[in-house]
Amino acid sequence: MKVALLALRGRAEAVAAAREATAWLRKRDVTVAEGNLDHPDTVDAAVRDARIVCVFGGDGTMLRAARLIAPHGAGILGVNLGRLGFLTIASVSELPLILEDVLAGRYELEDRMLLEATLTRDGRVVERALALNDVVVARGREVRSVHVRVQIDGEAFTTYWADGLIVATATGSTAYAFSVGGPVIIPRARTMLFVPIAPHLSFRNAVVLDEGQRLRLVPEGDARLSVDGQIERDLESGDVIEVTPAAVNARFVRTAAVRPFLALLRDKILKEGKGL
């Protein structure tokens, strides 16, 4: 088995944890490769032919890593350096126990649907990106609402006048979409939803679609595109954003030691005082 270890080299604690894991794995004759998430070319080389990829960091690091790992089909094992998030499953101290299960074959891979966002300008593709959480079209530099025309499978649905529109996966339903009133969807569900941000005299409920449907967004006014909150593009008049289910999935490692999603949801939302 080959295991890849990914970390942001600018985070000393992540680098230290990855080196400790490397030593632990090599003592067990596991092939190990390391990659720097600041440099995608090193990630591609490290992940190639790996069965499992350990990612050291928080949910933001996991979002970045998932987009790079998904095309390889490897299982993603998130190691959090602080509190457990929605995407990570282990603390540094818990990692050896989980790796013991993985090396013994006592694990499963849970597929998560990704979105693919394609930005077209004057008939030319200027951005294409994967999203694990969400694709957002929102107001830009000007403090005013934007109009976003929405089509579903080529048919006009409505035009929102709002601060923006969030298109989220089931995984992303507990992130930005949840904060504006969207529903919680079990992460393994193969669906996507869209929900407006502060709509004005517009349809304000979330809409849930199945994985075979396609969205077309046409913003009017000063607007900006954001993919997983990490890839940003200023939009121009006439730009079109297509959002579809991606051809690849993010695959997350699950063992008996991993806390169930509903238990994590209760702790993250109820116990932290956010309400459900």
Task: Give one DSSP letter per residue of 111-153, joined into a string.
Answer: EEEEEEEEEEETTEEEEEEEESSEEEEEE-SSSS-EEEEEEET
245: β partners: 115
Q: Which residue, among 241, 231, 235, has the nearest Cα to 194 in the 3D structure?
A: 241
Using an 8 Å Cβ cutoff, are 145 and 216 in contact?
Answer: no
Confirm if 138 and 164 have CB atoms less than 8 A apart. Answer: yes
Partnered with residue 136 across adjacent β-strands are: 166, 226
Active-site positions?
59
**Three-state secondary-structure class, residue 266:** helix
DSSP 200-213: SSS--S-EEEETT-
What does DSSP assign to residue 163? S
Angle between helix 59-69 and 40-47 (nearest 10)? 60
